[in-house]
Amino acid sequence: MKLRRTLTALGAFFALGAGISACGSGVPGNSVADVAGNPITVQAFNHWMYVAAKGNASQGGAGQPVIVPNDPPDFANCIAQARKEIPAVAKQSDKQLKSACQSLFTSLSSQVMDFLIRGYWYQADAVKQHVHITDAQVQKEFNTEKSQQYPTESAFQTFLKQSGYTLQDLLFRVRLNLIYKALIAKHHQTVTDKQISAYYFSHATQFGTPATRNLRIVLTKSASQANAAKSALQRGKSWDAVAKKYSTDPATKNKGGVMTNVSQGTTDKALEKAAFSASVNKLIGPVKGQFGYYVVEVTKITPATHKSLAQESSQIRQTLTGLQQQSAQTAVDNTAKKHWLSKTTCRGGYAMADCSGYKAPKTSTSPTPTPTPTP
């Protein structure tokens, strides 16, 4: 079945071939890649590189020049454009500017190629799985999103001018989004009460807070020193004075021995055992611990809290739904890659991870995030 008959063509920016089963022997001269006989044209690539470059420039603030590095490997146009648009680099050598253009090209082109290639993959898989998105569905979704984000036609036209998108581009993006959602929906599973219950009991510590104690301590090297500190406190000496004189604990020595929000498993086991067994405002010790001898007083007890399954059910449902969504997305992407990666050939200089036989370079620059707004 021909793709052109099954899906709405993407227009001048993406050439669709005869059918999903065709497999071209190479990349046509006017194209940067071929997906199962369907070329991605230089025209398409250059247009979306311009959109990506506009997005990249917008991150630097209003008035930033839009540099489009779409003439590899020499980048003569990019170099000339940089010298014209960016006075600060005008005197840099061709070698320096070429390196900058190459880095920008690598960053933006990988995003553009991924977008165009996967756009084909998802459409082709939609054909295989009998998913059909009508023009009416696309237009309805577009109108809804446009009205939500752009209250006036003037605002929408300003967005088009600033972003470099055309109306056709946005309709294409909406179509791809609807196709992708439909493919994901085929993997959708309803979250059951049983799954919610199982998650709740296997993640019990997430649904409450542990019991804690606020303490005052004096840590000494010997039992005799601990007894001296305890005796001083019993005679009415202040914790500030006693801790400063006797304690060897650097964290509390100059804070009156104060420790707050101590929970089980976070401190010396001997101190923890004593603290969680003691009543409030009762001086205890000496307690022999890992680091010496403690004199301890519990100043506050905060009981543990725990929310019920009924209280947490809604949040757990959202969590499991999100996990299922992620799993479905992974399944869709893996299926598309399985069907089409081996049939995706890219021209030298444009290759990236979605191209058959691609080998990642030993070193690479971090890609620059590019906004992809959709009305």
Q: Does residue 241 register a pLDDT over 70?
A: yes
Q: What is the mean pLDDT of residues 114-136?
A: 96
Which tens digits make up the pLDDT trace of 33-73?
Answer: 999 999 999 999 999 999 999 998 888 776 788 999 988 89
> What pLDDT is attached to residue 28?
86
Q: What is the mean pLDDT of residues 112-139?
A: 96
> What pLDDT is attached to residue 219?
97
> What pLDDT is attached to residue 257?
96
Lowest mean pLDDT among 58-67, 90-99, 277-286, 349-358: 58-67
Task: Give the pTM.
Answer: 0.67
Question: How far is it, in rounded angstroms, from Cα 291 to Cα 253?
Answer: 14
Q: Quick check: helix, strand or coil at residue 32?
A: strand
Tell me the CATH class for 211-303: alpha beta
pLDDT grade for 204, boundaries at 50, 70 and 90: confident
Which tens digits make up the pLDDT trace of 298-345?
Answer: 999 999 999 999 999 999 999 999 999 999 999 999 999 999 999 999
Question: How far is it, in rounded angstroms, from Cα 56 to Cα 169?
Answer: 18
Domain boundaries, the chain: 3-188+323-346, 211-303
Sorted by sequence, the CB contacts under 8 Å of residue 77 that are 6+ apart come out as 70, 71
Taking residue 362's Cβ as centre, other Cβ atoms within 10 Å add up to 5
> What pLDDT is attached to residue 316?
97
Percent of the chain, pLDDT > 90? 77
> What pLDDT is attached to residue 189?
80
Q: Does residue 198 register a pLDDT over 70?
A: yes
Mean pLDDT of the chain: 87
Q: What is the mean pLDDT of residues 4-27?
A: 33
Query: Which strands sit side by side in the sheet containing 31-35, from one edge to the other?
Result: 38-41, 31-35, 344-346
Strand partners, 284: 296
Lowest mean pLDDT among 5-19, 169-183, 231-245: 5-19
For residues 81 and 188, the model is more confident at 81
Percent of the chain, pLDDT > 70? 89
Among 192, 165, 177, CA closest to 123: 177
Helices (H), 276-373: 309-340
Q: What is the mean pLDDT of residues 184-199?
A: 92
> What pLDDT is attached to residue 296?
96
Burial class for 277, CB neighbours closer than 10 Å (0-12, 13-18, 19+): exposed
> What pLDDT is attached to residue 362?
67
Sorted by sequence, the CB contacts under 8 Å of residue 308 that are 6+ apart come out as none
Question: How far is it, in rounded angstroms, from Cα 94 to Cα 83?
Answer: 10
> What pLDDT is attached to residue 15?
29
Which tens digits make up the pLDDT trace of 17-30?
Answer: 223 333 334 788 89
> What pLDDT is attached to residue 363?
53
Q: Specify the DSSP element, H or E, that contains 180.
A: helix 167-185
> What pLDDT is attached to residue 26?
74
* Contact indicator for 1, 86 with CB cutoff of 8 Å: no
